[in-house]
Structure 1
Amino acid sequence: MHEVQGARLTASFRDPNGFVFKQAGVLYRQVNESYRDDYEHLVGSGLYGRLVDDGWLIAHQEVDLALADPGLSYKVLRPELVPFISYPYEWSFSQLKDAALLTLAIQKRALEYGMTLKDCTAYNVQFRNGRVVFIDTLSFEAYREGNPWVAYRQFCQHFLAPLALMSLTDVRLNQLFRTNIDGIPLDLASRLLPMRSKLRPSLAIHIHLHAKMQAAHAGATGSVRSANRRFGREALLGLVDHLESAIRRLHWEPGKTQWAGYYRENSYTDSALIRKEEVVAEYLDRIRPATAWDLGANTGRFSRIAAVRGITTVSFDVDPGCVELNYREVVQQGETRILPLLLDLLNPSPGTGWQNVERASLLSRGPVDLVLALALVHHLAIANNIPLLGIAEFLHQLGQSLIIEFVPKDDPQVARLLANREDIFADYHPDEFERCFQQYFDIEAANPIPDSGRVIYLMRGRGARHGGNGSSTPF
């Protein structure tokens, strides 16, 4: 599997107190002897049980110690799995905000039980059943009165700085996470934020002043001493409350983005759109997948047709506004089967971090049972010059089965794409589409959509696929 070197996952190497590994396809977390006292405090104090009961922390079972490295291990845990692992650069504004607020809530709860978070990376938060959840059991340590919060700078880099940039500068700046795996540097955030941000005391202190203090103490280890002096429990709670207030005051509204109004403005008649929904539902009932990726999902209209059938669905779109609206709907309706995420299919999430495998690529997190590719092919083929054969090959790597829509050249949406450019796409027609896709898929059904000229296909993939099965990996 791509993410694993031996049994240990390649994302799990930074913490000397333990690591995550797989054995016989089952995921485990080893707790090293060095973490014994903190682990006993976490469990014995009741903090672990309360966090799990509240749905804030992934639950685990203690299992046979013989599964672990006998020279280091104290416990072996079998954690509950997260259906799909995502990363901050794939999240909407509200997803990152919810992750930040969960992290601060856990820090406050930990202090009630005499513990604190030593690690506040955004990668320790995931989405399960439509809600944020913390996944790193080893991020807790005993609180020692007077000690600074060692994770303060990390929280600012992973949460406050990117949220401030997304809110006040440009929502697309969450993509800085791709090249800054340890969080967005505060000096960079300070330069990118507008001058008016300095009028907000929280941002002035936790980003602008914090960045200056870091520069003044360059080379010092640990937290910036002048910005994070030794202080007592009440002062630490005050710091957490101040950060929480800063996060809650940050907002971003999608407005009218390029694709957020697509369903209102597309070329479908009402009857054609209803028929399209019926065809997709019929195909889903025919193949009954357990998991699906909806590519170009917009605000998740067709993702929900899958989700109501119990299909765990990742709802991808390139438009931050669409993903934001989709996630808000998930939260508002209490939906448990949909995970909205940002994805640019022309530049999908790569393997990154240490040795390019610390964070998994999109491909290595598949293949999935089913890929939905509705109203997508013409954008790839005509707007971006991707050959039909290349599209077929890529989708074959992602999924076992495929529900895909072909939009003909005389469709108004295609006409818009060709309005200001030369038509060099002589091969873009249904026969060539079918010929290319039949090199990777068997076509099981094809249903024309009345009054549209569009056709929706059901296809089954042929042969082996590349990539891992990273959907249950906790990093």
Structure 2
Amino acid sequence: MKNLLSLENIDFEPSSYVDNQGFVFYYDDKVLRCIYSDAKTLFQGLLKENILEDWSQRFNLVPTRSSQYRIAGKEDCLIVEHDRIWPTSYCTEWCPSMLYDAAHLTINFALELADHELILQDAYPWNILFCGSEPVFIDLTSIAPVDPVLLWPAHEQFEAFFIRPIILSELGKGKVARAMLRDYINGISLEEYYKFLGPIHRLRHPGLILSVLINKRLQRSAVLKDRLRKMSEKIIRTVPTDVRKRFLKKLSRRLNIFKKTKSADAWTRYYKNIDKKFDKAVKRETVSNIIRRIKPETLLDIGCNTGIFSIEAAQCGAKVVSIDTSESCVEELYCTASQKKLHITPLIADIVNPTPAYGFLGRQFPGLLDRIGCEMVLFLGMMHHAHVTGRQSIMRISELLNIVTQKYLLFEYIDIKDANMPHLPQRRKIEYSIETIKKALEKYFENIEDYPSDRQTRRLLLCTK
């Protein structure tokens, strides 16, 4: 049978191994999900009654449809097909507002499920991808029948992966929060969270210290934990739907306390502070004309700042991934893209020190460079940062750009005599010219066109494979 697949011929999603209701796999460039027979009836009903379609429209559940594929040895399972959401990004690369919107999507969807006597088994930010600036819930089989004696089994996970990192970010510790979210099993524990809170926040929330002390006592005493478990078993009651919904609404109100704040830094003011003697219009017009001529389907903006060129590309129809090390810049671009409904996914990342692959066997979650390849790449105002500050040779930079560029690269050459060069920490002698730069790029790109930029010490090089 043409639609009968063997387990040997499908590509398993490496992060889909815990789910007790199925697994995700890839075949023939399709995203497919095998749903085990025990859960089959539930999801067949949701499909037949068009409930999944309704949730896709109202709660950004990944669009899902029935598939004709079957797996040999698992013929009693249900196979469904999902839309592919691009790009793949992780919470360790999101700005605070992205995590905030993902948290709201999770809670709002959980509230909807409660009306159907269903619940989310987990509250995991890896269950969400951003399609442009829209969060999409992708883990279909996180949906399960409620356990009648539990309010929400994923509550602590929601605290560890959403509430605590959002609070830390609001306190100006977003970098700390993102680093701690690399612990994809535990997230940010209560004790770790408390250590990073300032004294003022601790004074405003005196109940926190009591929670920390109780939690420490429980962790150290297996006897006490066992005693509490036995006591809870004696007083277990069925949780009514309205009680569960009130609990979820309370979590939603906690989220609403936080505000999406734009905290400016030196980089958010970069374009405004460019010396007026430079002709910014020349660079902007040149870049705009090149983008409009090429009309790329996908575009990667490296060192995007607040996204002037990302916005230009998105308005020309490109699906854009924008990366920058400045949380403030990425935050501002995300808010702009959300307000204007632009297909831009901005991420906090360093191109010379990109997010590595991590998780089980070091490959459960692919590294950044494997996820952001685009038809066209912008590398504007970045050469000196990568070469001087990042201490990477021109050949290594060219190799890096080759990895993420599918066809076109717009590279801004910055001369050694550029006015910004003295501001960089030069720990070694720097020697290069536009000829040596072109020679390095020619190893990977067949054709290079030369255009003016906003000043005499800079040139725009359009490189084509």
Deviation at 1:361, TM superposition (A): 0.6
Match for residue 56 of structure 1?
60
Match for residue 465 of structure 1?
none
Q: Is the 8 A contact 1:210 1:227 kept in 2?
A: no
Match for residue 320 of structure 2?
313
Q: For 1:346 and 1:9, how far apart are their aligned partners in 2?
A: 27
1:163-199 CA-partner distances (Å, limit 9, x unpaired): 1111125121232245311222222112222244345
Q: 1:438 and 2:403 equivalent?
A: no
Match for residue 266 of structure 2?
258
5+ residue gaps in structure 2?
Answer: 1-7
Q: Is the 8 A contact 1:62 1:77 kept in 2?
A: yes
Alignment CA distance shift 1:450-1:312 (3 Å): closer
Which of these residues, 382, 385, 389, is aligned with residue 388 of structure 2?
Answer: 382
Match for residue 350 of structure 2?
344
Q: For 1:50 and 1:72, how far apart are their aligned partners in 2?
A: 28
Q: For 1:46 and 1:203, how far apart are their aligned partners in 2?
A: 45
Q: Is the 8 A contact 1:380 1:386 kept in 2?
A: yes
Give the match's secondary structure for 1:258: coil
Identity of aligned residues (%): 24
Runs of 4+ in 1 over 6 A off after TM superposition: 217-221, 223-229
5 Å matches for 1:171-320? 171-177=174-180, 179-182=182-185, 183-198=187-202, 204=208, 208=212, 211-212=215-216, 215=219, 231-251=239-259, 253-267=261-275, 269=277, 272-320=279-327
Q: For 1:28 and 1:248, how far apart are their aligned partners in 2?
A: 35
Deviation at 1:424, TM superposition (A): 0.8
Give the match's secondary structure for 1:321: helix
Deviation at 1:282, TM superposition (A): 2.4
Aligned length: 451
Deviation at 1:359, TM superposition (A): 0.8
5+ residue gaps in structure 1?
Answer: 462-475
Alignment CA distance shift 1:246-1:406 (3 Å): same
Q: For 1:61 and 1:215, how far apart are their aligned partners in 2?
A: 44
Deviation at 1:12, TM superposition (A): 1.4
Q: Is the 8 A contact 2:389 2:424 kept in 1?
A: yes
Q: Given the two structures, how large is their TM-score scaled by the length of structure 1? A: 0.87
Q: 1:132 and 2:140 equivalent?
A: no
Which of these residues, 426, 429, 439, is aligned with residue 424 of structure 1?
Answer: 429
Deviation at 1:352, TM superposition (A): 0.5
Q: For 1:440 and 1:376, how far apart are their aligned partners in 2?
A: 19
Deviation at 1:378, TM superposition (A): 0.6
Range moving further from structure 2, 158-167 or 35-44: 35-44
5 Å matches for 1:76-115? 76-115=79-118
Which of these residues, 412, 424, 429, is aligned with residue 419 of structure 2?
Answer: 412
1:325-371 CA-partner distances (Å, limit 9, x unpaired): 00111112222x11111111232011110111111111222432111
1:120-149 CA-partner distances (Å, limit 9, x unpaired): 100111112421111111011112433231
Q: Is the 8 A contact 2:31 2:81 kept in 1?
A: yes
1:59-118 CA-partner distances (Å, limit 9, x unpaired): 11101142x243265211111111211000110000000100110001111111111111
Amino acid at match of 2:254: A
Give the match's secondary structure for 2:395: helix
Q: 1:75 and 2:91 equivalent?
A: no
Q: For 1:210 and 1:365, how far apart are their aligned partners in 2?
A: 42
Q: Is the 8 A contact 2:300 2:372 kept in 1?
A: no
Range moving further from structure 2, 140-149 or 351-360: 140-149
Q: For 1:105 and 1:112, how far apart are their aligned partners in 2?
A: 12
Amino acid at match of 2:298: T
Range moving further from structure 2, 260-269 or 432-441: 260-269
Q: Is the 8 A contact 1:189 1:207 kept in 2?
A: no
Alignment CA distance shift 1:209-1:134 (3 Å): farther
Q: For 2:16 and 2:356, how far apart are their aligned partners in 1?
A: 18
Deviation at 1:261, TM superposition (A): 0.7
Match for residue 42 of structure 2?
38
Q: Is the 8 A contact 1:203 1:246 kept in 2?
A: no
Give the match's secondary structure for 1:265: coil
Q: For 2:207 and 2:296, how far apart are their aligned partners in 1?
A: 46
Match for residue 162 of structure 1?
165
Match for residue 5 of structure 2?
none
Q: For 2:162 and 2:31, how far apart are their aligned partners in 1?
A: 28
Deviation at 1:446, TM superposition (A): 0.7
Query: Which structure carries more relative contact order (alpha carbon 8 Å, separation 6+)?
Result: 1
Q: Given the two structures, how large is their TM-score scaled by the length of structure 2? A: 0.88
Q: For 2:253 and 2:207, how far apart are their aligned partners in 1?
A: 11
Q: For 2:159 and 2:123, how far apart are their aligned partners in 1?
A: 9
Match for residue 375 of structure 2?
369
